Amino acid sequence: MTLLIHATLIDGTGRDPVPDSWLRIEDGHITSIGTGAAHRGDADVIDCAGRTVLPGLIDAHAHLGATDYLDRLTSGSRPEYAATVFAESSSTLRHGYTTIRDAGYTDAGFARAIANGMVAGPRLLVSNGPLSQTGGHSDLRRGHDRQPAVMFDGLVWTGVVADGVEQVRWAAREVLRAGAHQVKVMASGGCASHGDEVTDTQFTREELTAIVQEAGARGRHVLAHAYNPEAIANAVHAGVRSIEHGNLLDEESAALMAAQGTFLVPTIATFQLLSVDGREMGMSREQVDQIDTVLASAYTSLRIALDAGVRIGSGSDVLGRHQPRKALELELQARVTGTLEAIRSATSVNAEIVGRGHDLGAVRPGFVADLLIVDGDPAEDITVLQDPNAIHAVLQAGRITVERRPERTS
Ligand SMILES: [Zn+2]
């Protein structure tokens, strides 16, 4: 049994912080919460005076396996690639992330290695290869390449290319067979791909519907990369759980999402970071220009979605050297939603997105004790979440797996 005392508590539901809180943890779960004096009994006591306790952060759109710019992922040494992904996974945990919904490229083997305790890391929910139409956002082939439809070299998936209802059914079944927790589809063009524009739609509504059916048949959901209103409408009508990016969303598509209960996962951080050094990371000038265009509209589209009543999740979408910058997303999103809402998006809303709204992402009795203890108060200054030195401890299912400065009182 563990008892946290004298903590400022941010419970992840958007409620104001509660000073001088205590919480009791037994068998990996939070069993009770209160304020003021707590009965200690024989508990292991952690004094959190001057610190804030909040749910472990959830990134609903990360690419743990994207250790470099996508074009370079498959060209380097494979052992070094695997080592980098594992290093990234323990670093992500030290940065306060206890759950990652991976939006593609990362193989299920990495998730199993973490889940089996072989490597430190967050709960990793992978998509394996994103599904893409020929010439779509995850068809990374250049003009004369002749690669197979499943682009998987044994370590990294770059995409699964399929066209037509029959083929997309096969593609969804294929990534699920290989252990995907959810299915990622590319429903519009993107910034980093070579042959398409963010204004393009990709896959037909029939194809998207078939993919959602195949995922649903196994109790899984679909996340759809989509920028423009037509692509968003196609994906929402098909029944996807979340629209990723959504930078060109308008009032009409926002209203549709709100009516259908489709989540929006904005990913502002990656655009902000790539806008600064995308060229150094190997992007072309045209690609960075496209990044700048969608960065400018990211805040407007978030405001439109919020006003329409769309439920807002949180994703960083960071690649390569930006992997340690996931929590920048909270600061950027807070510019529109406010701090406590940005934290709610990255905890309890993201938990709902991954289908764990009943036991993850909030500090509540009965919930899994995935918790952060951070110096200071993120409600006052959300940037403390970007400083790993401010993260005093990370608990995964009640177990301290990251501890910066041991200060137990008993
Ligand atoms: Zn992404």
Q: What is the pLDDT of residues 15-35, one digit of tens each?
A: 999 999 999 999 999 999 999
In a structure prediction context, what are the per-residue pLDDT tens digits for the chain, which is 410 residues long? 999 999 999 999 999 999 999 999 999 999 999 999 999 999 999 999 999 999 999 999 999 999 887 767 878 889 999 999 999 999 999 999 999 999 999 999 999 999 999 999 999 999 999 999 999 999 888 777 777 778 888 899 989 999 999 999 999 999 999 999 999 999 999 887 777 889 999 999 999 999 999 999 999 999 999 999 999 999 999 999 999 999 999 999 999 999 999 999 999 999 999 999 999 888 889 889 989 999 999 999 999 999 999 999 999 999 999 999 999 999 999 999 999 999 999 999 999 999 999 999 999 999 999 999 999 999 999 999 999 999 999 999 999 999 986 555 44
> 2-55+361-403, what's its fold?
Urease, subunit C; domain 1 (2.30.40)
Distance 1 CA to ligand 1 centre (A): 39
Give dist(CA 5, CA 27) in Å, integer. 18
Tokens standing for 353? 């997105």
Q: Which residue has the tokens 């970071």?
A: 273
pLDDT digits (tens, 9 = 90+) for 293-309: 999 999 999 999 999 99
Distance 308 CA to ligand 1 centre (A): 24
Distance 126 CA to ligand 1 centre (A): 12
Distance 14 CA to ligand 1 centre (A): 26
Distance 137 CA to ligand 1 centre (A): 10
Distance 408 CA to ligand 1 centre (A): 40
| Beta-strand relationship, 57-62 and 97-102 | parallel
pLDDT of residue 147: 74
pTM: 0.96
Distance 405 CA to ligand 1 centre (A): 34
Burial class (CB in 10 A: 0-12, 13-18, 19+), 99: buried
Distance 76 CA to ligand 1 centre (A): 21
Distance 67 CA to ligand 1 centre (A): 13
Distance 17 CA to ligand 1 centre (A): 32
Distance 244 CA to ligand 1 centre (A): 8
Give dist(CA 116, CA 144) in Å, integer. 41
| Region 57-353: CATH code | 3.20.20.140
Residue spans of the domains in the chain: they are: 2-55+361-403, 57-353
Q: Is 60 helix (H, G, I), strand (E, B) or coil?
A: strand
φ/ψ of 253, rounded to 5, equals -70, -30
Distance 188 CA to ligand 1 centre (A): 12
Please state the length of the chain. Answer: 410
